[in-house]
Amino acid sequence: MSRRRGPRLITLTSDIGSAYAAQMKAGLARRRPPGTVGDLAHDLRPHAGGEAAFLLRSMAVGFPAGTVHVAVVDPGVGGHRAPIAIECADGSSLVGPDNGVLIPLAEALGRPKAFRILPERLEPRSRVGTPFDGRALFAPTAARLAEWVAARRLGSPMRPHRYAVPVAHRSRSGARGEVVHEDRFGNLVTNIPTAWVPADVRTLVLRMGSAGARTLPFGTRYEEWGRGRACALGSSFGLVELAVAEGNAARRFRVSVGCAIDVHWPPRT
Amino acid sequence: MSRRRGPRLITLTSDIGSAYAAQMKAGLARRRPPGTVGDLAHDLRPHAGGEAAFLLRSMAVGFPAGTVHVAVVDPGVGGHRAPIAIECADGSSLVGPDNGVLIPLAEALGRPKAFRILPERLEPRSRVGTPFDGRALFAPTAARLAEWVAARRLGSPMRPHRYAVPVAHRSRSGARGEVVHEDRFGNLVTNIPTAWVPADVRTLVLRMGSAGARTLPFGTRYEEWGRGRACALGSSFGLVELAVAEGNAARRFRVSVGCAIDVHWPPRT
Amino acid sequence: MSRRRGPRLITLTSDIGSAYAAQMKAGLARRRPPGTVGDLAHDLRPHAGGEAAFLLRSMAVGFPAGTVHVAVVDPGVGGHRAPIAIECADGSSLVGPDNGVLIPLAEALGRPKAFRILPERLEPRSRVGTPFDGRALFAPTAARLAEWVAARRLGSPMRPHRYAVPVAHRSRSGARGEVVHEDRFGNLVTNIPTAWVPADVRTLVLRMGSAGARTLPFGTRYEEWGRGRACALGSSFGLVELAVAEGNAARRFRVSVGCAIDVHWPPRT
């Protein structure tokens, strides 16, 4: 069900920095009404496709039905990725390279149908002829979709590459997962759902990388403990997060995105 | 007197980074017209409540009457802060945690009336149940206020926590204050009003931290002196600022926000 | 030919950071419709006027005819620069200090006519009286221009300072230029047009600074080579760019903006 009231919004997400992003905005400003194109983030960690997939889903999932989300994050070496557009159950559309970054969001929005964009179907044709697909392909595709052109008019059905979303595993008294995001405070967000931790648990035992076990207090706000105190939190993502009150957990634990995390809590008796 | 013409604007300020801010924008995009929600800054120094209070006032005070300003900056450990909304004399509203960050702006906008937000009065209720108040509480509150719902409908009157704004003190031939902001060039903005410095003064004697006295030229543009030259300026904030032409004063002087500054000028004769 | 349909857009570019930029946006929000003022970038390298001139042209040239572009980048010590407005052939207007940063964009937009802004012609007069021209002069000027006030009404004709755009030189089997931009990945964009490199060239020999000659593969996508491999690319700017796949070319080559680059390719036989 698509939202036909008012113009469709377009959001832009990338790891390319504000200057390249501005080139996408220039082309969109030629076609879309003022105020309908917005930045989510252009300072994502370079080449970190997995973290980008996680963040794109978190950032974009709450936008109105019918929004067009463009995400240009290069997950690294591996050959040219086809440009794709994905239409979802709520009328939202996703645009970007076929590298898996769009997939978690597409699945959250429901019933994704993917199309490989055929540049020759974009009008006017790009006169630029450079490798910056953001400006030459993705922005024009988003503009067409926002004008309610169906994705099937812009390309052919295809099966997108999937990003292997790291899945956490649950045991009777714990879970094994990994760090999926480090935020600007150095907080470490894992992929372990907070809901897995029993409601009465107040401490967690963690193992990260090669370090020994640590026992950390567990709660919902690090303000409960003193400055500099390490703790585990139910994060705003609904996932277990490691933090240091007014400090930097990533530096304290020497842990980064992708690092395995084992969590244990006392078995219920 | 509120501005009833056109939709109310909402501004967003935080230390949480673009990715978390995007989650606030998602919810607002569902309720507010395109182009009416704008970012001021999401890269404020983490946990620096005092600097955030200073900057929020500087950034937001010039917006149109009736604007809704949301500021989510966590000034650090100290227990859960209640969500509040403040209505001001010009019809502007401020939303954020009750940690003092909103107070200097509220006082500048005049006759602030504060209300503790009661989450059960927000419709629709947040289904998220996570500790990110920005998305679950502050954005929905801002949306309601922008729809001209009165703050007293969303909560109960209360007396907000005050942020102890550091006040500079004046003497016959000088002033004592402190650094309230370090900008991205490393310029150090103090809380000493430029207007206190007599118009004919061309040099200032400064003491910062434990360092000895320095004599610096004083003017309105650092271009008056050569590259690498330290100087004192009447800053764009109307406050005395320390700068190094094409250099970094914070590094040169090894001074940061909160550091005490003594300024002397020759007594008038 | 100016675009009279709909309100004129205003873009903002600077090296001053989001907090100062917000002060420009505050004043503009008082005069312009929601959604018509947009950020391009406020994180440009401080004091790097040449790089800013290059980026401003790249970012802004694709915006609709009639857009007003404000660029406040201080290229360093050298005396006070007059505020100027430049009107171009397509109806676009440029606003900023007379330091050359606007010139490459003005020439790309065609037939520039420059005017020195006379502050006393701006209404209402700034009550601020501080040296931040962005808020006191450039934003009010942009607002007037966006209201279709002619630049000649705001000032007097003048001849702007030119920024000496570094020009690359071509030889029969190579070119000599310099690095004009380092992006957030550490990629080094030169001023050597990709079009100068013959279509069948697959390797380039480069000399940078005092280092010896390096032979690098040349293509359009660094994905063609392995992770950590240095290469030369036809960049999205239409210029030869040096990159390291998933790495940082600026650090690898110890090269920065302004460094001379010699490129050679095999002469055609």
pLDDT string in tens for chain B (269-residue length): 344 467 999 999 999 889 889 999 999 999 999 999 999 999 999 888 899 999 999 999 999 999 999 999 976 544 568 899 999 999 999 999 999 999 999 999 999 999 999 988 886 655 444 556 888 899 999 999 999 999 999 999 999 988 777 889 999 899 999 999 999 889 999 999 999 999 889 999 999 877 788 999 998 766 667 778 899 988 878 899 999 888 899 999 999 999 999 999 977 65
Average pLDDT score over chain C: 88
Kindly identify which residue of chain C lies nearest to residue A28, measuring between CA atoms.
Answer: C63
Confirm if B132 and B140 have CB atoms less than 8 A apart.
no
CA distance A2 to A10: 14
Least confident of A160-164, C23-27, C45-49, C61-65: A160-164
Cis peptide before B131 (omega within 30 of 0): no
Across the interface, whether the CB atoms of C35 and B40 are under 8 A apart is answered no
Kindly identify which residue of chain B lies nearest to residue A224, measuring between CA atoms.
Answer: B79
Structure tokens at B84: 């509040």
- Counting as contact any 3 or more CB pairs under 8 A, the partners of B are A, C
Kindly identify which residue of chain A lies nearest to residue B23, measuring between CA atoms.
Answer: A59
Kindly identify which residue of chain B lies nearest to residue C14, measuring between CA atoms.
Answer: B184
Confirm if B48 and B100 have CB atoms less than 8 A apart.
no
pLDDT of B75 reads 65
| ipTM greater than cut 0.95 | no
Residues of A in contact with C220 (CB under 8 A): 131
User: Is A235 exposed, middle or buried, given 0-12, 13-18 or 19+ CB atoms closer than 10 A?
Assistant: buried
Instruction: Kindly report the number of other CB atoms within 10 A of residue A211's CB atom.
Output: 11
Kindly identify which residue of chain A lies nearest to residue B31, measuring between CA atoms.
Answer: A64
Kindly identify which residue of chain A lies nearest to residue B32, measuring between CA atoms.
Answer: A64
CA distance A1 to A92: 9
Pick from A34, A63, A220: which is nearest to B35 by CB? A34
Q: Nearest C-alpha of chain B: how many angstroms from A35?
A: 4
Residues of C in contact with A73 (CB under 8 A): none
- Counting as contact any 3 or more CB pairs under 8 A, the partners of C are A, B
Query: Which stretches of chain A sit within 8 Å of chain B by CB?
Result: 6-7, 9, 11, 33-36, 38-44, 55, 58-64, 67, 183-185, 194, 220-227, 233-238, 245-246
For the cut 80, the answer to whether the pLDDT of residue A226 exceeds it is no
Q: Nearest C-alpha of chain A: how many angstroms from B205?
A: 35
Across the interface, whether the CB atoms of C43 and A80 are under 8 A apart is answered no
Determine the 3-state secondary structure of B104 from DSSP: helix
**CA triplet A239, A245, A248: central angle to 5 degrees?**
80
Residues of A in contact with C70 (CB under 8 A): none
Pick from B17, B29, B47: which is nearest to A9 by CB? B29
**CA triplet A90, C36, B183: central angle to 5 degrees?**
100
Q: Is the dihedral of CA C209, C215, C218, C224 positive or negative?
A: negative
The per-residue pLDDT for range C148-164, each reduced to its tens digit, is 999 999 999 999 988 77
* Nearest residue to B69 (alpha-carbon basis) of B141, B121, B5, B122: B141
Across the interface, whether the CB atoms of B35 and A35 are under 8 A apart is answered yes
The per-residue pLDDT for range A153-205, each reduced to its tens digit, is 999 999 998 877 788 999 989 999 999 999 988 999 999 999 999 988 999 99
DSSP letter, residue C143: H
Q: Nearest C-alpha of chain C: how many angstroms from A94?
A: 23
Q: Nearest C-alpha of chain A: how many angstroms from C56?
A: 8
DSSP letter, residue A120: G
Residues of C in contact with A18 (CB under 8 A): 39-43
Kindly identify which residue of chain C lies nearest to residue B41, measuring between CA atoms.
Answer: C18
Structure tokens at A194: 């907070």
**pLDDT band with cut points at 50, 70 and 90 for residue A3:** very low
Q: Nearest C-alpha of chain C: how many angstroms from A57?
A: 24
pLDDT of B238 reads 85
Total H helices, total E strands in chain B:
7, 15
DSSP letter, residue A194: G
Total H helices, total E strands in chain A:
7, 15
CA distance A83 to B213: 62
Q: Nearest C-alpha of chain B: how many angstroms from A223?
A: 5
Region of residue C141 (left: phi > 0; alpha: psi -120 to 50; beta: else): alpha
Residues of B in contact with C35 (CB under 8 A): 34-36
Residues of C in contact with B62 (CB under 8 A): 23, 26-27, 30, 135
Q: Nearest C-alpha of chain A: how many angstroms from C41?
A: 5
Across the interface, whether the CB atoms of C185 and A36 are under 8 A apart is answered no
Confirm if B240 and B263 have CB atoms less than 8 A apart.
yes
Residues of B in contact with C30 (CB under 8 A): 62-64
Structure tokens at C179: 């690095």
Structure tokens at B228: 């690498």
Positions of E strands within A88-213? 93-97, 113-117, 155-157, 169-171, 174-182, 188-193, 203-208
pLDDT of C47 reads 85
Across the interface, whether the CB atoms of C58 and A33 are under 8 A apart is answered no
Q: Nearest C-alpha of chain C: how many angstroms from B99?
A: 20
Pick from A34, A78, A132: which is nearest to C236 by CB? A132
Strands B260-264 and B203-208: antiparallel
Kindly identify which residue of chain C lies nearest to residue B39, measuring between CA atoms.
Answer: C22
Region of residue C35 (left: phi > 0; alpha: psi -120 to 50; beta: else): left
Residues of C in contact with A79 (CB under 8 A): 223-224
CA distance A4 to C82: 49
* Nearest residue to C242 (alpha-carbon basis) of C182, C193, C184: C182
0.90 exceeded by the pTM?
A: yes
Determine the 3-state secondary structure of C186 from DSSP: coil
- The answer for residues whose C-beta is within 8 angstroms of residue C120's C-beta and 6 or more apart is none
- Altogether, the residues listed in chain C come to a count of 269
DSSP letter, residue B266: P
pLDDT of C87 reads 97
Pick from B19, B23, B36: which is nearest to A62 by CB? B23
Structure tokens at B229: 């030259």
Q: Nearest C-alpha of chain B: how many angstroms from C44?
A: 11
Determine the 3-state secondary structure of A150 from DSSP: coil
Name the percent of chain A in helix, strand, coil, to the closest 5. Answer: 25, 30, 45
Query: Which stretches of chain B sit within 8 Å of chain A by CB?
Result: 16-20, 22-23, 25-27, 29-30, 33-36, 39, 43, 46-47, 76-80, 128, 130-132, 134-135
Span C62-86, average pLDDT: 84
Q: Nearest C-alpha of chain B: how many angstroms from A183?
A: 8
Across the interface, whether the CB atoms of B43 and C18 are under 8 A apart is answered yes
Pick from C33, C39, C236: which is nearest to A34 by CB? C33
Residues of C in contact with B222 (CB under 8 A): 77
**pLDDT band with cut points at 50, 70 and 90 for residue A128:** very low
CA distance A112 to A96: 14
Kindly identify which residue of chain C lies nearest to residue A74, measuring between CA atoms.
Answer: C246
Q: Nearest C-alpha of chain A: how many angstroms from C82?
A: 26
Pairs across A and B, CB distance < 8 A: 97
pLDDT of C1 reads 38
**CA-to-CA separations, B170 to B156, B209, B237, in angstroms, rounded:** 40, 18, 18
Pick from A39, A185, A225: which is nearest to B46 by CB? A185
Across the interface, whether the CB atoms of A63 and B135 are under 8 A apart is answered no
Across the interface, whether the CB atoms of C29 and B185 are under 8 A apart is answered no
Across the interface, whether the CB atoms of B62 and C17 are under 8 A apart is answered no
